[in-house]
Amino acid sequence: MKARSAFLTTERFNAQTTGTEVEYKILLPPNMPADRALPLIMHFHAAMSSSSSLEAAMPAYERAWAEGTLPAAIVVCASTPTLGGFYINHPDGPQWESLISDELPELLSSRYALAPGRGAIGFSMGGYGALKAALRNPKDYRAVAALCPAIFPAETSQTVPKHNRPSILNDLNEAMGADAKTYSSNSVHSILRGNTEAIRSQSLQIFVDCGEVDEFNLHDGALYLRETLTELAVPHTFHSVPNAGHADALAYARQDAAVRFIGEALFAANRNFD
């Protein structure tokens, strides 16, 4: 019997966490098994992007399924705003992190049989969102892969060097919070420090990669995260990619590596997967 292709569909729902209609895309695997629950992979898009990011990344998932390096899984990507969004729960405003971490998975669980333990994968702003979600909720995730994550080499708004917050990154730095407590709640490094024991006990698999000549100087933040993970004795995989920028010809191979990483973690978590 000829193998079916992966299937991508676009849906919308009225989200209570944001008070808006949210578009999302779902990618279903080829020959989707009907007799078992499947893991959920949260695909986080970058700044100035949308759920169409999943359509662009679809070949990476298809390759992994064809190679047998990714188990059958349900992949979802929600369209979220950049300004006013940033995967942040805004005080007295939209709760974009809760949308991704809670409301959307709950919606999908009413339609699909979902296995415990999600994967999270994201690029740039999406890498920031993926890390935040997984590090804050390690019991819900098996693995997180962050490519060129939009994170800073500092843990307070005032100490982020100017050259690390060009353009939209300055907006992100400000959106993370004016006061120290709010900023800390949105800082990947601070979440990691505050949740270290849970991350270790849940054996969350962590993959971070960044080009060494990233045009937005995100390599500095990635190195800072590696140092923090090492300091806290949290196991992780870190790829510092020579001669690679933010999004260039090497991006496709790096995305393939991230998807394979998620696949290995999901396979290891459940040996019943084909």
Q: Which of 1-5, 112-116, 244-248 has the lowest mean pLDDT?
A: 1-5
In Å, the largest CA–CA distance within the chain is 60
Please give the pLDDT value at position 252. 87
Answer whether 75's CB lies under 8 Å from 54's CB: yes
User: What single-letter DSSP state applies at residue 179?
Assistant: S
Provide the token pair at 55.
Answer: 């359509």
- Fill in the amino acid letter for 216: F
pLDDT digit string, tens, across residues 165-216: 999 999 999 999 999 999 999 999 999 999 999 999 999 999 999 999 999 9
Distances (CA, A) of 58 to 28, 30, 100, 224: 10, 12, 20, 31
Answer whether 180's CB lies under 8 Å from 248's CB: no
> pTM for this structure?
0.96
Spell out a b/e string for 43-69, using b for 16 or more CB atoms within 10 Å of the CB, else e. bbbbbebbbebbeebbebbbbbbeeeb
Question: Which CATH number, 3.10.310.10, 3.40.50.1820, 3.90.1150.10, 3.30.1360.120, labels domain 7-269?
Answer: 3.40.50.1820
pLDDT of 272 higher than 70: no
Q: Which of 10-14, 34-38, 63-67 has the lowest mean pLDDT?
A: 34-38
**Token match 């669980």: residue?**
109
Rounded CA separation 188/128 (Å): 7
Mean pLDDT of 130-143: 98
Provide the token pair at 252.
Answer: 């496709």
Rounded CA separation 130/127 (Å): 5
Q: What are the boundaries of each domain within the chain?
A: 7-269
**Phi, psi (rounded to 5 degrees) for 132:** -60, -45
pLDDT digit string, tens, across residues 45-101: 999 999 999 999 999 999 999 999 999 999 999 999 999 999 999 999 999 999 999
Mean pLDDT of 230-246: 97
Rounded CA separation 134/224 (Å): 18
